[in-house]
Every structure is written in C-alpha cells, then in structure tokens.
C-alpha cells in the first residue's frame, strides 16, 4: 500500500498508461499477491486508462526466464476489478545477456496483454 501511495503522489494521481514488464508475476508470488497487485494496478490507472503488461508464458517449454503463466491465468489476473483485458498475444522477450548464456535459439516466450480500466457509468 505504501508503494502505491508513493507512486500516486509522485505521479500526481492515477495515470493514463501503466507499463508492467515482468512485475505482476513477481508480485503474485507474495502472500495475497495476485489480489493486491490487481487492486494496486486498478488504483494506479485512471478510468479510461490502459495497462500494457508483459509476463512469462507457459508456452515456453523450458524452465528459464520469467515465471510461466497460462493465458487463462493472465486473463483472470484482474477478475473483480474494473480492468478489462482487450488483448493477449504470445511473443518472445528481447535477448538479454542472461538469455544468450542459455544457448537457446530464441529468447523465452511471454504474453503481452493490453488492459483498459472502465469508466464509471454516468448516473
């Protein structure tokens, strides 16, 4: 909660766009992590704003790179929030020095997903 408040203070409030490159799958390993991460992202993004999230994919056949999540785990990531998944596609992460040391023909696979926080219904 303190980190979210710090980010909101520094940003001057919720943002239009949030980019997550391999943070969600780390946060979800903490106690109550998936729910807390989803709630934090929801608070950080203003209504109508977007989240671009990169995370590991279970389509990666080897145990390397980011934590591997299924497409369904990613789609369910923000159940119970106002964040709606607009798309989710497979991709390969960029090469890093660590990935090159692994001697695989391509970097690890991942999911790139786009989310939108819904706007409140006018009363």
Mean pLDDT for the chain overall: 88
At residue 68, the pLDDT reads 87
- What residues pair up with 55 in beta bridges, in sequence order? 111
Residue 35, SS3?
A: helix
Tens digits of residue pLDDT in 69-102: 899 988 888 899 999 999 999 999 999 999 899 8
At residue 49, the pLDDT reads 97
Is residue 65 over pLDDT 90?
no
The more confident residue out of 101 and 26 is 101
Q: Model-level pTM greater than 0.95? A: no
Interacting residues of 24 by C-beta distance below 8 A, sequence separation 6+: 37, 41, 53, 55, 77
At residue 82, the pLDDT reads 95
The more confident residue out of 10 and 63 is 10
Question: What is the chain's percent helix, strand, coil content, to nearest 5?
Answer: 30, 35, 35
């Amino acid at each position: 909660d303190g980190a979210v408040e710090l980010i909101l203070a520094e940003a001057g409030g919720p943002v239009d766009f949030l980019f997550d490159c391999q943070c969600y799958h780390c946060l979800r390993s903490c106690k109550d992590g998936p729910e807390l991460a989803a709630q934090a992202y929801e608070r950080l993004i203003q209504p109508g704003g977007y989240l671009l999230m990169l995370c590991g994919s279970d389509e990666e056949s080897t145990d390397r790179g980011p934590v591997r999540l299924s497409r369904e785990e990613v789609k369910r990531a923000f159940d119970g929030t106002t964040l709606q998944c607009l798309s989710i596609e497979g991709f390969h992460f960029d090469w890093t020095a660590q990935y090159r040391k692994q001697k695989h023909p391509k970097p690890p696979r991942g999911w790139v997903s786009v989310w939108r926080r819904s706007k409140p219904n006018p009363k």
